[in-house]
Structure 1
Amino acid sequence: MSLDVRHELSLPHVSALFRHSAHSDRGAVRKLNEDSYLASVPLFVVADGMGGHAFGDRASQAAIGAFSTAFETDAPASAQRILDTVRLANEAVLELTADEGPGGAISGTTLAGMAFVDVGGDDNYHWMAFNVGDSRIYSWDGRTLAQMSVDHSAVQELVDLGHITKREAERHPDRNVVTRALGADTEVDPDVWLLPAKGHQTFLLCSDGLTKELSDDEIARIIVFHHSEQLRDSDALPLTLAERLANAAIAAGGSDNVTVVVVESDLVGPATAANGSIDDTVDRDAMAYNLEETRPRG
């Protein structure tokens, strides 16, 4: 399942241009694809149904369904509404377990998303990142791939404590154990943070089917190769970047479902400064307190 879309939002004093690609595959081993995604301006989300749990595919679909019905496609999102919808997505996953009755199957899913939001004030547009579990969010600045999200996983806690290295975590026997997920409890605790929307920005969202098979350096090399081909002949590219990354993960073993969403944005207009960026100042009075204070845990 693939997607390659261009979209423009005409906003007061500025235009926001988006291009996004998405691809999801069951991989080389699994019989069922338990991943789901949403890629539609202003919202991009990846959900990975928890492996080893019954109805993982239904859990990820329920989470994505909560988002797909909650937002308009021709306007920035509300930051508070994103938080509310994360809670609704958690409730939707919990209902799957409730439907099975006492002792029934347990469903769960990770969640990682980027939303283009208006946090109030004049031209106060931001990217809002949020995650629960070990699906990841990266940023790409043309040279460096940086992991923005922090995995909610047993091995990440060991890395944080200094007991193992990040490289050792990639092969640790408990690398599939997540410490937070939708459907795990009645309350959900996402990491949430805001980035000013400015100039040209690129973000990559993925399920762990990508990062199990490819290191960050390998992902970065594929992005560079793809963009070099794009510069030579953008009309002749047979694959989107999302497809190319997913295919590389499958070729490297494909031990899990793999889903990749890549979104690029450009802000163009009088509100854009000469250096290609807009004012970084956030209108704190217009923001919910938890949005101002919440940061990825590292």
Structure 2
Amino acid sequence: MRPGLVVSPGSATHPGLRRALNEDAHLATAPVFVVADGMGGHEAGERASAAVVSAFARYIGRTALELDDVRRALARARDEVEELSTSGNGRAGTTLSGVVIASVDGMGYWLAVNIGDSRTYRLADGQLEQITVDHSVVQELIESGELSPEEALTDRRRNIITRAIGASSTGDADYWMFPAEFGDRMLVCSDGLTSEVPDDRIRTVLQTTPDPQKAADVLVDEAVSAGGRDNVTVIVVDAVSVASRPGTLLETDGHIDMDTRPREAAAGGVR
């Protein structure tokens, strides 16, 4: 049985110019594409982000995951990160953002997950959409009308997050599930990218760099060249084959199924 969604990924990471350690960790192997941005002294952040990736790595090779699979991985990651904090390794914590491949009645879906201020975007029809919502102080101030998005970019509180895995946080992750579309390009990144490179430039790179690995490399290089004040990690994932209905498949090789009518959008948050 052919999978409902086949992808082509690329990924890159860099410690930046001001950090001795790279506390980011990532996984970019189907069906999991996630970035974790660790925090905490004495290597605690590095170990926390690695624990999250390890919790998801057991799913490598699966055709698709369900929401319960993601929740179980998160629960395992929380337990491991809390153990780091209680075993003398500092106040360990990490963000998590990304997408996994899901399936509904044989159709390909994206299942996005987020906790913290790493981000997941989708580029579709030339439009870059931020799927996730930051769990941060400045995001709350934007939503309350106390800050504009432009002011938030330089606000001194921009690095304070309100939810994490570990770091004494008990906040839940947010989830979104929506149908994959032929030509989707997903971007998952730590805030080392978005704090250095504006969304308009990110969109331009994603639109003009066809190869996902090259796109990831270019975005990381631009973040470092712009200042590299933090670790930066980027995953780019292209949907190259998408089942639009049970038994039909759209592919990038030019062989397109007779029925190419677009599916009704079904994006939405899941708690």
For the structure 1 residues 88 and 147, does the alpha-carbon distance in structure 2 shift closer, same or farther, using more than 3 Å as the test?
A: same
1:118 aligned onto 2:103 = yes
Q: Deviations over 1:199-245 (max 9, x none)?
A: 22111000000011011011112223324xx6xxxxxx9x6110100
Contact 1:91 1:186 in 2 (8 A): no
- Greater strand share, structure number: 2
Contact 2:163 2:169 in 1 (8 A): no
Q: Deviations over 1:51-77 (max 9, x none)?
A: 6675111111111111112x1414211
For the structure 1 residues 51 and 275, does the alpha-carbon distance in structure 2 shift closer, same or farther, using more than 3 Å as the test?
A: farther
1:128 aligned onto 2:128 = no
How many Å apart are 1:278 and its aligned residue? 4.8
In structure 2, C-alpha distance between the alignment counterparts of 1:137 and 1:54, rounded to whole Å: 26
Supply the AA of the counterpart residue of 2:75: R
1:256 aligned onto 2:230 = yes
Q: Which residue of 2 aligns with 1:271?
A: 248
Contact 2:41 2:90 in 1 (8 A): no
Stretch deviating more after TM superposition (184-193 or 198-207): 184-193
Secondary structure of 1:172's aligned partner: coil
How many Å apart are 1:277 and its aligned residue? 4.0
Q: Which residue of 2 aligns with 1:79?
A: 67
Which of 130, 140, 144 is matched with 2:127 structurally? 144
In structure 2, C-alpha distance between the alignment counterparts of 1:149 and 1:108, rounded to whole Å: 19
In structure 2, C-alpha distance between the alignment counterparts of 1:152 and 1:146, rounded to whole Å: 17
How many Å apart are 1:29 and its aligned residue? 1.4
For the structure 1 residues 210 and 181, does the alpha-carbon distance in structure 2 shift closer, same or farther, using more than 3 Å as the test?
A: same
In structure 2, C-alpha distance between the alignment counterparts of 1:53 and 1:154, rounded to whole Å: 25
| Residues 78-117 of structure 1 aligned to structure 2 (within 5 Å) | 78-100=66-88, 105-117=90-102
Q: Percent identity, aligned pairs only?
A: 37
For the structure 1 residues 188 and 81, does the alpha-carbon distance in structure 2 shift closer, same or farther, using more than 3 Å as the test?
A: farther
Q: Which residue of 1 aligns with 2:151?
A: 168
Contact 1:154 1:178 in 2 (8 A): yes
Query: Which consecutive residues of structure 2, in runs of 5 or more, have no partner in the other structure?
Result: 250-256
Q: Deviations over 1:95-148 (max 9, x none)?
A: 101111xxx6200000002011134xx314321000000000000014111111
With the length of structure 1 as denominator, give the TM-score of the two structures.
0.80
Q: Deviations over 1:164-209 (max 9, x none)?
A: 1001101000101000000034744001110012322111000000
In structure 2, C-alpha distance between the alignment counterparts of 1:55 and 1:263, rounded to whole Å: 29
For the structure 1 residues 137 and 53, does the alpha-carbon distance in structure 2 shift closer, same or farther, using more than 3 Å as the test?
A: farther
Q: Which residue of 2 aligns with 1:216?
A: 199
With the length of structure 2 as denominator, give the TM-score of the two structures.
0.88
Aligned residues: 260
In structure 2, C-alpha distance between the alignment counterparts of 1:183 and 1:200, rounded to whole Å: 36
For the structure 1 residues 143 and 58, does the alpha-carbon distance in structure 2 shift closer, same or farther, using more than 3 Å as the test?
A: same
1:35 aligned onto 2:24 = yes
Secondary structure of 1:10's aligned partner: coil
Supply the AA of the counterpart residue of 1:241: A
Stretch deviating more after TM superposition (152-161 or 239-248): 239-248
Q: Which residue of 2 aligns with 1:18?
A: 7
Stretch deviating more after TM superposition (54-63 or 130-139): 54-63
Pairwise CA RMSD: 2.4
In structure 1, C-alpha distance between the alignment counterparts of 2:153 and 2:186, rounded to whole Å: 22
